[in-house]
Structure 1
């Protein structure tokens, strides 16, 4: 104990010396008469306000003072030190420039501090928070070429609101203001606060914008404060229109004509080719439901604007419908820029025309993608994708996407009869910007709901084992409540797996492993799926979350109709193919915490379960869960982990690796930091596994049990992310820390780590190359 204590004291002493050394070394770079500014302190002298109010005022005042001193770390200023030791670069590049101006930080001197300016800030801010007649003074304390400024504030008692009046007059706008008064932010007994007053003006302005007062502005409102009526530190507030409020701001406007230019081009405007028809006669031949579409080439069906535009002739202007219309036009996906203009058509009747100037995106695009890859299982390969997109397929902003692809993986340096893999296929999707259904679906969201239809085919060949033909199809809906919440319902989601050319070699393999036999069984999977997504990751917050929950129900109604739910000796079939019955649920929760603009923590938790019943004894292989790989537990090769404590080493290692399960638990944590421009680094830990619901004699230890915690695999590693804007190339190096198929009591591997052993490195260091972040 004494030895550990002395060791700790030594480390503490050395750290203290280093701190003093760096601190002193920074001041030696100062010129004669210069002093390093170490910050400011605000002292509040007032016995009438609470301790909490003092702390809040002090924190706010110190946050408003400028400039900020040099950043510190454990009492040291390493960034300032790097600035000081780096030579002045001759060019705006090179190591010295990077060290001095990118890593380093220029010294903040006492001469940079405008103390009078800060004193004014303190007094003004205090008064804005209700501390009227606040007075501030300052004093400078210096020692050893360092200086700090101490500001002393005498704020006096804080004034409270005692009466709020909305002054009346006979104008229409004042009548509407009176209707808004009931939800005022100005409350009796609350402290006087200029920020609350500003928020109240914004609230009134937003309310009037919803009632047709398009030209109104928050500055048209004045809130008068009277502290002379009550001398007991109380203030009365009077909310009124300014006397010089423009007449236009007092008028309530409605919509006359709605005019859409779906082929607007700013270049045509510059060349004088663009003009807005200003009379109704010139618009009549393009009219549709009181909407005038200027589209001589008939590139777009007018009906799409009727669904997207919330303004109709005679409607009172309101900001909500204004913003909803712009957002829905953008979410159609066919317009690159959307601009809205209001032009007064009848000033006496207070009407204006609403113009929508829409610049189309490129209607068709063709993209070719090529990808090369390798993994630690001595497999290399590549993939080629050709994608065609048409964003206005039937002239109604329907998006049609078609793709063909091919991929291959081959064993490098292996035998000539190695189990190479080949995939090729095609898929198409038609996305219609409305709900196609026998019922009426109304959405007031800013996002256009969509009906999605997909068809696909994939040919998969494992050269020495089998060939699979996979057919897929789906019909469903995608809609968003708002920017955070999204729903996707596939009424029908069909997968048909048809095997061919199953070799004798593979038949011998699955004689020993029934799970491998199920891979090449004919499968018909169909049923509804539903997913719900909630995310705040697009918001500028310090903490953000992402959640996606998915429910997949296969063959439930068909099972009832055919009697498959009743246990029988023989499976029920459709077109000679047994159909699958199962219920599957999966939850994916992610939490992101931003420490600074250049560092963050990302975490993810996945929990899922698939349960077979009725016509199925097992969940189809393609619908089961897998663990391991570049987007999962990175210390284990893709799909090699689990189930449970099953040891995959007992299998023929040259044959088949994929291991699946009915239950999945996974937890990931990753610290991310920016090193330099496009170069980012990460340190991560992954944990989890998959398990079986039913016992499988051929995979002992695979069933989920109360001992599942002891079967959790753990891996950790480091990585680099090369952020090239158009893509992020990810390089991860991981190693296992806990292996679930080792003997109990010996599953942690810390005592086995040996970086100097080539054999250990080959078996335990897993290198992953991937595109994008893992989560």
Structure 2
């Protein structure tokens, strides 16, 4: 451990020394490498990122003080072509010898090889040229700093800089800013020439971002321009644009105060060779025309073969028979006849129509209605280009896992759009997997001895499917939809060879632009275990422990094979009965009896069939604006309740209880529990491709009524590439138990992760991370105090893992390698929990796609 740290420290030290020696390698004589920018504002150092971002030149990027990209660039031979040619100019005999062995053309092409050219091209592209101090850039930086503080209300700002030499080829730039006193808004008046716009402005004046007494800030004026423009264009001002808004700022005879005059001119337009003006008008929609089979390559015809239908004041046009029920399309349109023009209605209509997934992104245009003599009417034309009614997709993947040595996975998907002429979409997907596993008994020596197949069907239709009108609860502006799904899957020679049936009836809607809600009215899952005799072949750790205990006691010899190992399944079941019966024939000591009992309870739990009738509600919100946004948060919550409907049915029908005293439905004990989850993710953009990412998660599932434990499929596990990366999946917890089970799970989970992400060069990125968390049992049938959460004191059993990772960004996905080290292992003995397993031999390599959170 100490030797490893010593070696790592030595490497870092050598790297720093090398960096110090080569960083100036490509700095021309008489020039200086920029190593630091210092900004002093009113005699105080300024470290805010927003201020430093005003500078045109910044020092070369570094990683913990080491200029990796600069050093890569310095290693490159920029003039490798000239170097290669000079090699033979200095030694023409060598060129002749090579030309005899290779052709002259091949010798010349050697200069383009990886060794002579490729490696240097890679280093120069991946690296970063030295940032040489440039006077013009420093002058521009000084001007930008002055402008930055001017826009912040400091009109008398003065800016200067000096170059401070550190060595012959290194220097830093010191910027000095003197802001003077800030200016504050003393008065605000308006000059709005169009009466209707003046009235609209006054109605929303209270929301203005420009307030008397506030410090002048240019950003407030930009925000106000956007606010005014949005207000006008959402209330009928079709011709209004931002450029009609101007501000006169008067500081004459004012000490640190400004007078603001908001000016909005009349609409101007060209007529012949002259420019005319008139007051802005408020426009109403006189007609809404919807073209349901528009093609950019075809003209819109209104001949005898075309169809024209009017529904709820919407005019539908199509070439041939109308293929959609008018109501389905009308529900997606927010632009209404007689209503005012509004930008937000256009946006909502585009989003809803796109969300139907039966059309390409729509085109919405507005034309002046020549029939209106007052010139206050617009005709809205909505052009819809249908997607193909049928689409078919296939995929084929090769896999390898701890279950199968080699596998082939194939999927086939069929999508049918507008299946019932109401903009519905229907999808059916079939999947199959065949694989080979050498761990399975294979008497026929069959290569493909593992298989799994399944089929899933999903029907999605717009709106909320309900026997009463839900518009007041979930208005159509939230783009609601209803989904009915059903699926079936079966395994052979995989685990216990499960049959899995699922079905769900779901509502989806978006309360706000960046929010999403989902309500599963009914979510059904039925899991049937077919091959129960395979249990101890699948859960090898449980078998190993049971076998070791059985070998240490006088036990019926018929339970063992020739190698004195318990026979699966007759021997394992026989020993469990002998040890745990009310009148046991094998008398175990207290510790062994506890372990055997735990193994038996888990076997019973994992081999029982599960029937889950649940309802759940999920809500998520994000501030992420696009794929490049790295300064955002995500909040997710989910609440699920299971078994209540079946409990009512069982009570009403006086369903007979089974021998265990629990109610059954279709001869299966149904699960009853309530489950809640909360997740919060936050990213901070630290600039220059550095990001600090944080994730927290808490979830609990409490069994009650017909259950004393939560189904395995609804429980929690810890470890893995998206959790605590210092442990393998299912290998951590519960609590500090260090359990003997193969797949550890529990009904309470707490997890926190922090990750610092940075760029090495190009698309190659790195990360340093710390993961903390664990799982515990609470309010269920587990009594082991090491596994049970008993209050705040149990948080001392939180496992901590740390490590580093490498990522390569392919733009459309990221390949991730993370190496996790056990920093604090709660299952270890006291005084051996911290850094006891912090070494490469006990590290865990995680391979994943995309970022963990």
- Note whether the superposition's TM-score is higher than 0.5: yes
Report the TM-score, using the length of structure 1 for normalisation: 0.81
Check conservation: 2:442, 2:449, Cα contact below 8 A: no
CA change 1:276–1:106 in 2 (3 A) is farther
CA distance in 2, matches of 1:309, 1:746: 66
Specify the alignment match of 2:637 in structure 1. 549
Structure 1 position 492, deviation (Å): 1.3
Q: How does 1:449-528 map to 2 (within 5 A)?
A: 449-462=480-493, 466-500=496-530, 502-503=532-533, 505=568, 509=572, 511=576, 513-528=600-615
Q: Are residues 1:666 and 2:692 paired?
A: no
Cα distance change of structure 1 residues 303 and 674 upon mapping to structure 2, 3 Å threshold? farther
Alpha-carbon displacement from aligned partner over 1:48-81 (angstroms, at most 9, x marks no partner): xxx9xx9889997765343445556777866445
**Residue number among 682, 689, 698 corresponding to 2:774 in the alignment:** 689
Partner of 2:423: 397
Quote the Cα distance in structure 1 between the aligned partners of 2:727 and 2:435: 19
Aligned residue among 243, 261, 269 for 1:238: 261
Paired with 1:638 and 1:101, the residues of 2 have a C-alpha distance of 39
Residues 1:595 and 1:374: Cα distance change in structure 2 (over 3 Å): farther
Whole-angstrom distance in 2 between the partners of 1:502 and 1:85 = 62
Query: In the alignment, which residue of structure 2 is the partner of 1:605?
Result: 696
CA contact (8 A) 1:527 1:552 kept: yes
Maintained 8 Å contact 1:390/1:401: yes
For structure 1, which segment, 737-746 or 694-703, has the greater mean C-alpha deviation from structure 2 after superposition? 694-703
Distance across 2 between alignment mates of 1:582 and 1:637 = 28
C-alpha spacing 1:618/1:31, structure 2 compared with 1 (3 Å):
closer
Aligned to 2:550: none
Deviates more, 1:325-334 or 1:432-441: 325-334
Correspondence for 2:384 among 354, 358, 370: 358
Return the match for 2:664 from 570, 573, 579: 573
**1:443-474 superposed Cα distances (whole Å, 9 cap, x missing partner):** 457652111111111223346x8543322211
Distance 1:61 1:712 in 2: 41
Which residue, out of 339, 358, 363, partners 2:363?
Answer: 339
For the residues of structure 1 that align with 2:240 and 2:705, how far apart are their CA atoms? 65
Aligned equivalents of 2:737, 2:176: Cα separation in 1 = 70
Deviates more, 1:100-109 or 1:737-746: 737-746
Contact 2:718 2:724 in 1 (8 A): yes
Deviation at 1:745, TM superposition (A): 4.4
Q: Secondary structure at the match of 1:64?
A: coil
Question: 1:293 aligns to what?
Answer: 316
Q: What SS is found at the alignment partner of 1:250?
A: coil
Deviation readout 1:374-415 (Å, 9 max, x if unpaired)? 346885545332222223322322221212223356544666
The 1:629/1:171 distance shift into structure 2, 3 A limit, reads: closer
CA distance in 2, matches of 1:326, 1:78: 47
Q: Which runs of 5+ in 2 are unaligned?
A: 1-5, 82-111, 270-276, 535-567, 577-598
Name the structure 1 match of 2:462.
433
- Aligned: 1:383 with 2:409: yes
- Aligned partners of 2:605 and 2:146: how far apart in 1? 78
Give the 3-state SS of the residue equivalent to 1:349 in structure 2: coil
* Residues 380/548 of structure 1: CA separation in 2 closer, same or farther (3 Å cut): farther
CA contact (8 A) 1:377 1:637 kept: no
SS of equivalent to 2:202? helix
2:289 aligns to what? 259
Deviations 1:172-191 (A, max 9, x none): 33333333434333322233
Aligned ranges 1:151-190 → 2 under 5 Å: 157-167=181-191, 169=193, 171-190=195-214
Gaps of 5+ in 1: 1-6, 46-50, 652-656, 756-760
Q: 2: distance between equivalents of 1:95 and 1:606?
A: 45
Mapped partners of 1:233, 1:726: distance in 2: 52
Q: How much has 1:664 moved relative to structure 2?
A: 2.5
In structure 1, distance between residues paired with 2:743 and 2:450: 13
The aligned residue for residue 350 of structure 2 is 326
Instruction: Note if contact 2:266-2:279 (Cα within 8 Å) is conserved in structure 1.
Output: no
Distance 1:737 1:460, change over 3 A: farther
Q: Secondary structure at the match of 2:129?
A: coil
Paired residues, number: 733
Q: Using the TM superposition, name which of 637-646 and 552-561 deviates more.
A: 637-646
Distance 1:674 1:32, change over 3 A: closer
Match of 1:304 in 2: 328
* Distance (whole Å) between structure 2 residues aligned to residue 599 and residue 670 of structure 1: 11
* Superposition CA RMSD, Å: 4.3
Residue in structure 1 matched with residue 393 of structure 2 by the alignment: 367
CA contact (8 A) 1:255 1:354 kept: yes
Deviation (angstroms), 1:687: 4.0
Cα displacement (A) at 1:665: 2.9
Find the aligned partners of 2:404 and 2:194 in 1 and give their Cα distance: 84
Residues 550 and 160 of structure 1, relative CA distance in 2, 3 Å threshold: closer
Distance change >3 Å, CA 702–CA 251, structure 1 → 2: same
Render the CA deviation track for 1:97-125: whole Å, top value 9, x for unaligned.
3323431224333354373x566556655
Determine helix, strand or coil for the equivalent of 2:639.
Answer: strand
Gap change, CA 1:570 and 1:686, over 3 Å in 2: same
| Structure 2 partner of 1:758 | none
Distance 1:715 1:120 in 2: 48
| Alpha-carbon distance, 1:334 to partner | 2.6
Q: Return the alpha-carbon distance in structure 1 between the equivalents of residues 54 and 223 of structure 2.
A: 20
Distance 2:848 2:52 in 1: 46
After superposition, what is the alpha-carbon deviation per residue over 1:182-220, rounded to whole angstroms, capped at 9, x for unaligned? Answer: 433332223344443333233222211122111112221
8 Å CA contact 2:305–2:319 kept in 1: the answer is: no
CA distance in 2, matches of 1:299, 1:72: 61
- Aligned to 1:113, the other structure's residue is in SS state helix
3-state DSSP of counterpart to 2:353: helix
Kindly report which structure 2 residues correspond to 1:94-173, keeping only aligned pairs within 5 A, or say none. Answer: 94-113=118-137, 115=139, 121=144, 128-132=151-155, 144=168, 157-167=181-191, 169=193, 171-173=195-197
Q: Distance in 1 between matches of 2:847 and 2:148?
A: 53
Shift of 1:256: 1.8
**Offset at residue 317 of structure 1 (A):** 0.8
Task: Tell me the TM-score normalised to structure 2 length.
Answer: 0.74
Q: Matched residues in 1 for 2:615 and 2:523: separation?
A: 6
- Does the 8 A contact of 2:369 with 2:377 survive in 1? yes
Which of these residues, 250, 260, 280, is aligned with residue 250 of structure 1?
Answer: 280
Q: Does 1:220 align with 2:250?
A: no
Change (3 A) 1:666 1:375: farther
